Amino acid sequence: MDYTVCVVEDEKVSRKMTIELLKKMGITKIVASTNGEIALQKLKLQKADLIISDWHMPIMDGLEFYKAVKKEVDLQDTPFLMVTVEDSKERVVEALKLGIRDYIVKPLSSKSFEGKVKSLLKI
C-alpha cells in the first residue's frame, strides 16, 4: 500500500506497537514523532495520508496538535485518529466535537485498529 502515515506517540513501546500494526497491514511509509511539535514540523516537509496521535504527550498534547494541524492549509483535510488511554465520555465527545474523525482507546486491539485505519484511508 502506498500510504504515508504519521504516528505521534511519546511512549516508546506504544509507538513501536502502532508502527508494527501498520507494517502488518502493508503500510511501510511511516513518519514517527514523540510529540505534536516535532510531528507538525515533519508534516510540513512530508504530507501524510493519515495522522495517528496519542492524546497525552509532553510539549504539545494530542488535542493541541490536532488544532495546529487544522490551521495548516496543506494538512487540514488529513484524517486524524486519536489513540489514548483517555476513555471518559466527556473527553471523547470533546475530541469528536473538535472534528477528530475517529478515536480508539488503549490497549489497542489489532482488529479494531486495522478497521479504523482502513476506514480513514478508505481502503
Dihedral (Cα; 3, 106, 104, 56), 10-degree rounding = -90
User: Which single residue is written with the C-alpha cell 510540513?
Assistant: 44
pLDDT of residue 3: 96
Cross-strand partners of 33: 8
Rounded Cα distance, 94 and 40, in Å = 22
User: Taking the domains of the chain in order of start, what are their residue ranges?
Assistant: 4-121
Q: Are 82 and 66 in contact (CB under 8 A)?
A: yes
Rounded Cα distance, 86 and 101, in Å = 16
Question: How many other C-beta atoms lie within 10 A of the C-beta of residue 76?
Answer: 11
Domain at 4-121: CATH code = 3.40.50.2300
Give tens-digit pLDDT for 5-23: 999 999 999 999 999 999 9
Give tens-digit pLDDT for 64-121: 999 999 999 999 999 999 988 877 788 878 888 888 878 888 888 899 999 999 999 9
pTM of the model: 0.93
Rounded Cα distance, 57 and 73, in Å = 24
